[in-house]
Structure 1
Amino acid sequence: MNDAVAWSDFWAANTGAGGGGCLPQRWAAIEDAQRSAWGGFIANLPQAARVLDLATGDGRVLGWMRTERDDLALIGVDLAPTLPASPQGTETRGGIPMEDLPFDADEFGAVVSQFGFEYGDVAKTPAEIARVLAPGGTVGLMVHRGDGPILEHNLSRQAGIDWVLAEQRLGTIMVTALESPQGGPQVAAQVAAAISMLGADKFGEASPAWEIPEAMRRAVLMGADSGLPSIIATLHEIEARAQNEIGRINSLARACAVADQRDAITSGFSAQGLQLRSENQVAEPSGRAIASFLTFS
């Protein structure tokens, strides 16, 4: 699946929801560590500096910055054409690749990205960052780690989705149960309930192996009066959203692999006259690193 399609579907579905992308939502400590890192970064930016956030998503980094420094001019761009509303006092634009930015040269005092730079073309993006970065400007990148809990969490979710859709063939079984002469919504709901119980036993109640069949169970019961075509369309939509999550997890895994190739990243910026100034680990309270924070100037 095309990454832009997968992420556009995510942001469209989560408009106004305040979700955390691929982050495990129960881990508030992850966001606390991220926010603290960005607070340190912007503390030294000049008054009224213009800041560009690449792969901005829901604009949460811009929102954090706005809370700390309301003098900054904050703009975010993202390849996904459909984005949630931008945080108050900020501007975000969709459908913009980081490799081809619609801005003038020397326009920004800082260019930043949180879990975004590594999704782009890291061979081309440093040149575009250098072009729009004003002389004396700073680059801040928070990048994924292949050994971190974010990828680990999402690979676990992928295993649950694969089990439901590929191994159990839930979508096909549900449609068969609905259309069978001896079937119908009640029978299909019982099938979904049985698979959700198996999924909870195998992967846990917070896993997609429980979430997806439970969503389908509710869909057939709530849609019983709307007719089989409507129910089946809803089941297909649930399955499509699960497939899109697999697409996002695959793109996350690729991004982690790219981010771990640190020499390629630093040499790309060095070729544009931007040297690595610092590399710090962003860690959860246990001390486990969740990301690396790189600065260039």
Structure 2
Amino acid sequence: MSDAAAWSDFWAANAGATQGGCLPKRWAAIEDAQRTAWRGFIANLPKGAQLLDLATGDGRVLGWMRAERADLALEGIDLAPDLPAAPEGTITRGGVAMEALPFTDATFAAVVSQFGFEYGDVGKVAAEIARVLAPGGTVGLMVHRGDGPILEHNLARRAAIDWVLGEQKLAQVVVTALEAPNGGPQVAAQVAAAVGIVGARKFGDESPAWEIPEALRRAVLMGTQAGDAAIRATIAEIEMRAANEIGRIASLERACATADRREEIIAGFATHDLHEQASEDVCEPSGRALASFLTFS
């Protein structure tokens, strides 16, 4: 599955969510740290400045900025073709690659990205940023860290998915129980519930090792009146969404590796006469760094 498809599925399921698969459940504290970093970045932008957000997703960063500076002209793009509605007063476009921005030269006073820049080709994206950035403009990038809690959380989710659908083969087991002569919906639901109990003990009761068995259990019971074919279709959908999440986590892992190669990022911008002005840790309350905030001009 492509990164664009995996992230489209993610935004469809998580638009506006206060927590979810991408970030740990301590989302609120993480979000506060992110908002604080962006508040500082936009404080000195000129009145009415045009700003472009790369890999905007659900437009969360644009929404934060809009709340602080209603005078800014805020626009975002994302490779995912299907995006949630843009926050009020902002514009977002899906299906747009960072390596080929559909804007004229020297358009934006600022170009920013939160957990997006590092998903692209560093050299090509830096060149496009430099092209659309107005003279004297500023670049702000909040990038992942391979040693941070976001990747750690998502790798744990992947391990849980692999356990329940790979090692336990629960989807196939549920279908077998559903179709067996001495089986049926009640038996299949009991099988899913039993695996969910073990998964919750092993990985936690908010992990996919519980979420997926519970979804399968409900699918079997709720589909009883619709028939076995409808139940199997729902099970296939659950498997597809799990595969999408695996794809998204793989792209996150690659992005963290790219972000950790800091010298390549700095060199990519320096080629276009944009130089690093600051590099700061973005931390959760414990003091653990969850991201790095880089500025170039």
Kindly provide the amino acid, as one letter, of the partner of residue 296 in structure 2: F
Aligned residues: 297
Kindly provide the amino acid, as one letter, of the partner of residue 253 in structure 2: A
SS at match of 1:45: coil
Kindly provide the amino acid, as one letter, of the partner of residue 188 in structure 2: A
CA contact (8 A) 1:149 1:290 kept: yes
How far off is 1:191 after superposition? 0.3
CA contact (8 A) 1:14 1:84 kept: no
- After superposition, the Cα gap between the structure-2 partners of 1:30 and 1:241, relative to the gap in structure 1 and judged at 3 Å, is same
1:57 matched to 2:54? The reply is: no
Aligned partner of 2:105 in structure 1 is: 105
Moved more, 264-273 or 177-186: 177-186
Aligned partner of 2:2 in structure 1 is: 2
Kindly provide the amino acid, as one letter, of the partner of residue 33 in structure 1: A
TM-score (ref. length: structure 2)? 0.98
Mapped to 1, the partners of 2:273 and 2:290 lie a distance apart of 28
1:208 matched to 2:208? The reply is: yes
Any stretches of 5+ residues in structure 1 without a counterpart? none
What is the percentage of aligned positions where both structures have the same residue?
A: 72
CA contact (8 A) 2:117 2:143 kept: yes
Aligned partner of 1:264 in structure 2 is: 264
Aligned partner of 1:225 in structure 2 is: 225
CA contact (8 A) 1:223 1:231 kept: yes
Counterparts of 1:136-155 in structure 2, within 5 Å, are 136-155=136-155
Kindly provide the amino acid, as one letter, of the partner of residue 43 in structure 2: A
How far off is 1:23 after superposition? 1.5
TM-score (ref. length: structure 1)? 0.98
1:35 matched to 2:35? The reply is: yes
CA RMSD of aligned residues (A): 1.1
Any stretches of 5+ residues in structure 2 without a counterpart? none
SS at match of 1:109: strand
Aligned partner of 2:281 in structure 1 is: 281
How far off is 1:14 after superposition? 3.2
1:175 matched to 2:175? The reply is: yes
How far off is 1:17 after superposition? 4.7
Mapped to 2, the partners of 1:103 and 1:288 lie a distance apart of 37
Counterparts of 1:246-257 in structure 2, within 5 Å, are 246-257=246-257
SS at match of 2:209: helix
CA contact (8 A) 1:16 1:85 kept: no
Aligned partner of 1:96 in structure 2 is: 96
Moved more, 3-12 or 135-144: 3-12
SS at match of 2:196: helix
Kindly provide the amino acid, as one letter, of the partner of residue 114 in structure 2: Q
SS at match of 2:56: coil
Mapped to 1, the partners of 2:15 and 2:289 lie a distance apart of 29
SS at match of 1:226: coil
How far off is 1:15 after superposition? 4.3
